A and B are shown apart, each in its own frame.
Chain A
Amino acid sequence: MAGWSEKILDIDLSKKTYKTYPLDMEMARLFIGGRGLGARLLWEMVGPEVDPLSPENVLIFTNGPLTGTGYQTSNRFSVSTKSPLTGTVLDANSGGFWGMQFKKAGYDVMIVRGKAERPVWIEIKNDEITFHDASELWGMRVFAVTQKLGQNNNKRNVLCIGPAGENLSRIASIMNDRERALARGGPGAVMGSKNLKAIVVEGKERPAINDPERFKFLLYETRKLLAASPLTSQALPEFGTVVLMNIMNNIGALATRNHQQTQFEGAEAISGEELTEKYLVKNASCWACPIGCTRISKTEKVEGEGPEFESTWAFGAQCGIDDLPAIIEANTLCNDLGLDTISAGSTIACAMELSEKGYMDSDLRFGRADQLAPTIEAMAYRKDVGADLADGSLRLATKYGHTELSMSAKGMEMPAYDPRGMQGQGLLYATSNRGGCHMRGNMVGPEVLGLPKMIDRFQVQGKSSFVILHQNVSAAIDSLVVCKFTNMGVSDEYFARVLSSVTGIQYDTGELTRVGERVWNLERMYNLREGFTRKDDTLPPRLLNDAPTDGPSKGWVVQLEPMLKEYYRGRGWDENGVPKPKKLADLGLAGL
């Protein structure tokens, strides 16, 4: 069938063997690829008895049928695993070039099982799979390894972990193409626990396209729409995602100093406008992307990709720091060490609050830009105070007797949007299957930017419908796999049609959204099987009880209870948040 390669590469690191076998196309039809397919395979392969850092956990790298076709942003890919940070189902999603190359190598899925006796790296050149000794690479940082293994533009692409993953930091990322990241939930630690340093791909195949004429037409229309939308043709290329800093601050929804406030007096100093004016070298893009939201920034000490809005916030407002060069350097350092910037920044912020309040004995303090780099280093190597921080804010705060000071949901640090200023976002964080995450249904569109239209961010009634829709659509896009920024210029109707033109299977917009709903429910079932319950669909007490005392969000806390009740009903789940049998049957998940 066109689009898919229809092949799975299954690697056993313990035995240093591999095999390939066909992808179950009925499964592919229902789950498409990327996050959806990854979750479906994970469901079968990793149960509640498996420790995420044990050899029994797996890493499932997935493409989608659109990957590598040349459709705009068809470069993204996914990794699925059980998260060592949260214990939930995890998928992490990245851009760049590696995913496209992996598709060219001829596979939809790569399963990595077991644990190598000694550090290895894997080289994939279509049918040639080679295990290499990585003992000389072990200990090397990401930039050096990427270069050493021959990273070359769109011809040979390197995916690897840095020291943080090697040291099993539960917030370690997997990096690809030097500075792209499969960041959240600690997939880097899983890879490190398997003694797998890197996976390098080179490929020659191109995916087949079922209806090239229709595909060409949709490609053209998408190009037109992306060029016409000021979001994708002006805002993102010119200012990058950091352009959100000022608006989030203006409306009082920018989490500050470990969510103690909702506005940061230093927001302007760390804004997209400031970055563009003073530190931007140029913008850049992933493969087949006309948008170009990537920043290339330069300070006196570093030059590299980023920072994104979230990274800038995590080391900025969340830590009370307004020193943009220090933040840029922190971001680059995280990329080189292989650490998730959001979790790293928010964990440091948590430590800052614990220390300032005397619960923890360290000199970390809000506003101390000079403390960022040394602390990040220490975290990657589990040295000194880094040993406490390396596994995220929840374990840190619990150790020092103040769990409530970890700004996380299900153990994953929440990003920049303070939900006391955005009710829907609060519901999103509380119900997101991989934990406190904004990319699984970001409500910034409707609640802040008016995309597609503005809705009242403080309104509670009916909000759950939006969250459900955005969660479903995000899950579908994550399964195609394309970049969500395309969705800012082009509606979901196009994705369904592109998918149909590529694969030959007729998906309509409704069916595509249903795929997303199916993936969401499967992930939910996974978490329930792991022992998560309704009581885990919650937020830190600060967000439920402590209203900001000034700013536009003054007096507001997250009204989670009524939204959650409405959410469960809207999803067809019972009052404990368990999908009802009818819902599962409707989605073709009855067998689970």
Chain B
Amino acid sequence: MIDQRIYEMFCEIGRDLYEGNMISSHGGNLSVRLGDRVVIKRRGAQLGRLKPHDLIETRLDKNDSGVALASTELLVHRTVYLNTPALAICHCHPRTAIAFSLSRDELVPIDNEASYLLKKVPVVTEEFASGTPQMAHKVAEALKNYKIIMLRGHGSFATGQTLDEAFHWSSTLEESCQIELAVKQINEPFIEYRKMSESYNKF
């Protein structure tokens, strides 16, 4: 039995993701860790319109839910929980961030809020960017030292103590990338306003 409050949190963040254009209708995923168990969205469900039966609870080290889950992503979530202190994971498809991930190995924000909160967002790359142990391992490794990372061309993975914390990083990243896109369109010389910003990419 999944606690009502946990379900409500999934619904709220799921809806925020969809309405914030951070996912497509059926894309992305959210999960939380409860001790040695995980609650995650099932395959085929829409994060923006979750129903109670859309959330599955399973053991951390193997699927004992009796339901065929979106196994492509369960592996990643599980690997992250086993290798990092994360208690919640938000995986979404922030469009502008994805666009930048196609030409950069790391995203280093230039706006105030994201350079404050994130400093640097590494981009990891994997040929089959879905559901292989290699990809899961790469994502988990990167999340050991950063609270949000990009998987090139695919989307972001963010961790936190709660879903809204993980969502916070995701939303901040996308906002930051949209600002940078606008800067490119404005195309005027950048006036650096932050001291020691040359060190951000070494964070």
Contact = CB atoms under 8 A, between A and B. Distances in A.
A and B touch in the complex (CB under 8 A): yes
Interface string A267-298: 00000000000000000000000000000000
Given A473-B85, A566-B35, A456 B5 contact: yes
B202 A214 contact: yes
A228 B116 contact: yes
A465 B196 contact: no
A220 B203 CA distance: 13
Contact of B165 (A225, A452, A465, A496): A452
Q: How large is the interface on A (under 10, 10 to 19, 20 to 34, 35 or more residues)?
A: 35 or more
Given A220-B196, A466-B87, A570 B202 contact: no
A510 interface: yes
B67 interface: no
A365 B199 CA distance: 61
B123 interface: no
A477 B169 CA distance: 23
B144 A509 contact: yes
Interface in B1-51: 2-3, 5-6, 32-36
A221 interface: yes
Contacts of A455: 161-162
Interface in A200-230: 213-214, 217, 220-221, 224-225, 228
Nearest to A507: B145
A510 B85 contact: yes
A442 to B, nearest CB: 14
Given A453-B165, A461-B6, A469 B85 contact: yes
Given A453-B162, A508-B144, A569-B36, A462 B84 contact: no
A513 interface: yes
A144 B164 CA distance: 52
Interface in A419-471: 446, 452-453, 455-456, 459-462, 464-466, 469
B196 A566 contact: no
A518 interface: no
Contact of B161 (A228, A453, A472, A496): A453
A452 B161 contact: yes
Given A446-B161, A452-B162, A217 B199 contact: yes
B35 A567 contact: yes
Contacts of A224: 116
Contacts of A572: 36
Given A452-B161, A453-B162, A510-B84, A462 B34 contact: yes
Contact of A453 (B36, B116, B119, B164): B164
A572 to B, nearest CB: 8
B147 interface: yes
Given A509-B144, A566-B35, A569-B36, A459 B5 contact: yes
A508 B35 contact: no
Given A221-B196, A462-B6, A469-B161, A510 B83 contact: yes
Interface in B114-151: 116, 119, 143-147
A119 B18 CA distance: 71
Contacts of A462: 3, 6, 32-35
A510 B162 CA distance: 17
B160 interface: yes
A466 B6 contact: no
A217 B196 contact: yes
A511 interface: yes
A257 interface: no
Contacts of B35: 462, 464-465, 566-567, 569-570
Task: Sort A-B residue pairs by CB-CB distance and give the 7 closest, nearest first.
Answer: A510-B144, A570-B35, A508-B145, A462-B34, A566-B35, A217-B199, A569-B36
Interface of A: 213-214, 217, 220-221, 224-225, 228, 446, 452-453, 455-456, 459-462, 464-466, 469, 472-473, 491, 493, 496-497, 508-511, 513, 566-567, 569-570, 572
Given A446-B161, A462-B6, A510-B85, 18 more contacts: A213-B199, A221-B196, A224-B116, A228-B116, A456-B5, A459-B3, A459-B6, A460-B3, A462-B34, A465-B87, A466-B87, A473-B85, A508-B144, A509-B145, A510-B143, A566-B35, A569-B35, A572-B36
Interface of B: 2-3, 5-6, 32-36, 83-85, 87, 116, 119, 143-147, 160-162, 164-165, 168, 195-196, 199, 202-203
